[in-house]
Amino acid sequence: MNNPKGLSAEKLNQVHSITNNFTSLFGEEVKYRRLSLQLTQADLTHLLCECGIEITQSYISRLEAGSRKDPSIKLVLALATILSISLDKIVASSEHDENSH
């Protein structure tokens, strides 16, 4: 029986799975778009700094590798804007990956 004050274990697992799928796919897309624009991780770090987001080159590396699972919404939106990434496609892919399991 579902707890009206909390998520069921199944729903909680679904949220974690979709979130992990999203950040993994997003990291892959960041790397793909960055390389296609011939930007280094240092270049991208500098561009983010101009937007008021101070992160390290190491953070970008971990995000691209999928080992950084908690990027802020501000960072996601800034990267999506700078690199022209379609977030709706990544969200749809994340949900599709979850539904195919």
**Any idea what the CATH number is for the domain that residue 67 is in?**
1.10.260.40
In angstroms, how far is the first alpha carbon of the chain from the final one? 23
Q: Please check whether residue 4 lies inside any domain of the structure.
A: no
Give the model confidence (pLDDT) of 8-65 as tens digits. Answer: 888 888 888 888 888 889 999 999 999 999 999 999 999 999 999 999 999 999 999 9
> Measured between alpha carbons, how far is 11 from 17 in angstroms, rounded to an integer?
10
- Helices vs. strands in the chain: H and E counts, helices first: 5, 0
Domain count, the chain: 1
Mean pLDDT, to the nearest integer, of 73-99? 85
What DSSP letter does each residue of 6-54 carry, written as one string?
S--HHHHHHHHHHHHHHHHHHHHHHHHHHHHTT--HHHHHHHHHHTT--
Q: Please check whether residue 3 lies inside any domain of the structure.
A: no
Please choose, from the candidates 99, 91, 100, the residue with its C-alpha nearest in 3D space to the C-alpha of residue 24: 91
Task: Quickly state the pLDDT bin for 98 (edges 50, 70, 90).
Answer: low
pTM of the model: 0.81
Per the structure, the complete domain to which residue 28 belongs is given by 9-96
Per-residue pLDDT at 4 exceeds 60: no
